Structure 1
Amino acid sequence: MKMNPWTLSVLLLLAGPLGADPDWHVEYPDSFCVVEGSTATIPCSFTHPKVHKETGAVVDRVERVVWCPKHQICQGPTPNVYDSSNVRADSRFLYLGDLVRNCTLKIIKTVKRDAATYRFRFETNGGGYTGQKGVRVNVTVVKNVRLTVSSTDGEDLKVRSSVTDHVLKEGGQVTLTCTSACSFHQLDVHWYRNGHTLSETGPALHLSCLTNDDAGNYTCSLDSSGQKTTSAPWSLVVLEDEGRNKCGSDWRVTVPVVSVLLAVFLFLLAGLVFAKRRRAQKKPSEVIQKQEVDCKQEAVGASEEVSYSTIHFKRNSSRSAPGPEHEIVYSEVVR
């Protein structure tokens, strides 16, 4: 059976490099759901051999990576959402990967038309490969329950609690989960209390050591502005429990006390170090002064010393008057 050359080339491109080498591979999930207006991440990884089995060419670098929707080859001028060689790629599709192994793609502010099967292709100095399987992204529209409060049982986005009662005592804990008919895999979830944004993000919100400050209406949203795809409120009431050790109040008291003690310790330590330095600087100067005084005293003592020698008189045994023969010997007086 003869095969059209164009058809053969297409099949080869679909299979990857010649010989369908399993070392050429792209891995991503089969499909997952994205809520319209949210930000989702498509996890992806790829591998290639060091040497092309068919051509023997050394494969040591990736030169181009491409993400394209609704196309099985994803090659050449095929419409794409990201192309490393094209700086004018769609700004809503952010490539989080690299040119080594990671090919993760982030979709920002998804819209209905983003629903498609996405494929990743990488091209090296020794060949190119497209992950034919692709990943199917489904976009689900979630109604804003702020505008449809009457629908409480059929809403797509809601807050579920780890406890059945909305009333908890101080020191207790609860975990709130934002759920939807769509999977929350790799989705950005934002939390609010009484309409104010919380720093915590993610599908689950864990509240521990509850105090009166934690009481209020909690909502979750798949949009950072909180204006769309927002859940119905979940109310939390916190009761004061005088007979229970409130873990939240303990650390509020302990932290200031520890801070004061630490400050006093650092102050005393600084004073001790300063005193030692002053003593170390003072000691050499005292030694020098003492040496100078000793030197001066030695100089004064030396100047006041006088040495006298003995005077000897040599006389004749006779008592005659002194004459030339009588000798008088004087020694030198040394001062």
Structure 2
Amino acid sequence: MTQLHDRPVATDAGDVSDHDLVVARTVHPWRWIIAVATLVLLAQFVHGLVTNAGWDWGTFAQYFTARSVVTALWLTIQLTFWGTLIGFALGIALAAARLSQNPVLQIISWFYIWAFRSIPLIGQLLFWFNIAYLYQRLSLGIPFGPSFVEFDVNSVISGSTAAIIGLALHQAAYSAEIVRAGIISVDQGQLEAAAALGIPKRREFFAIVLPQAMRGILPNAANEVISLFKGTSIVSVMAIAELFYQVQVIYGRTGRVVPMLMVATVWYVILTSVLSVVQFYVERHYSKGALRTVPLTPIQKLHSRIAALPLSPRGATR
């Protein structure tokens, strides 16, 4: 029997160990050229932001935290919150109806989604804003029978309420499809295994279906929330003093169009970034069952890089 021994491979130049081998690095000149060109363009853009007087950063600083702007921003946040909360609650119900075995619920859910995805959002908002033109008074009671409570529509459905109703009903149609897509993405075999083990339907949904469906729901749901947040600017057609409308009022009075648009833009960027951070941590929570190693947070990455530095206590060589 031949016995193998660990030893370096003999070559014409003599015996060479693994430590003497040198790996040639691949040179990518185009990467450096593109990187330098990008940095130059970025430097030019930043230089223009600083030196171009047309940006009028003084007016920007004056109105960025003005009381009227902050109040309008708070209204925008409220519209986003209620539109998201009501929209996704109704969307979950629509998704459940679409996936049910009841043909009546399936048809109603499908028709709702088809209708509200077909009608432009601005049309829905204007319809609810002018609902009093069709119905001056509404009542609650027995269908086709006596009514117990009556109220005036104009006194109940204000401009903000009409905006919330329009945004929520519009959001529900898209949320229903997002939730339905996440639920049907779960492997059917797992549901069959849960049924074979006698797991109750409620526990099956919350322990098996929902954690896996959330990984497919969250990215699209976060996109919808961010789109709704920016889409609230469309309610300006209803003369509701949200962020974009208030900015329009100010630059209509002062003539400072560019700096006021930058005020709205920067606030949108800030709050969108906050929503993106929340999305990252929620997705990280629900990825625990799918990934061997949960992605590090930015703070954890920073700590690990600091610890790897030669001068750090952990990274120092003894």
TM-score, with normalisation over the residues of structure 1? 0.18
TM-score, with normalisation over the residues of structure 2? 0.18
More helix as a share of residues: 2
More strand as a share of residues: 1
More relative contact order, 1 or 2 (CA 8 Å, 6+ apart): 2
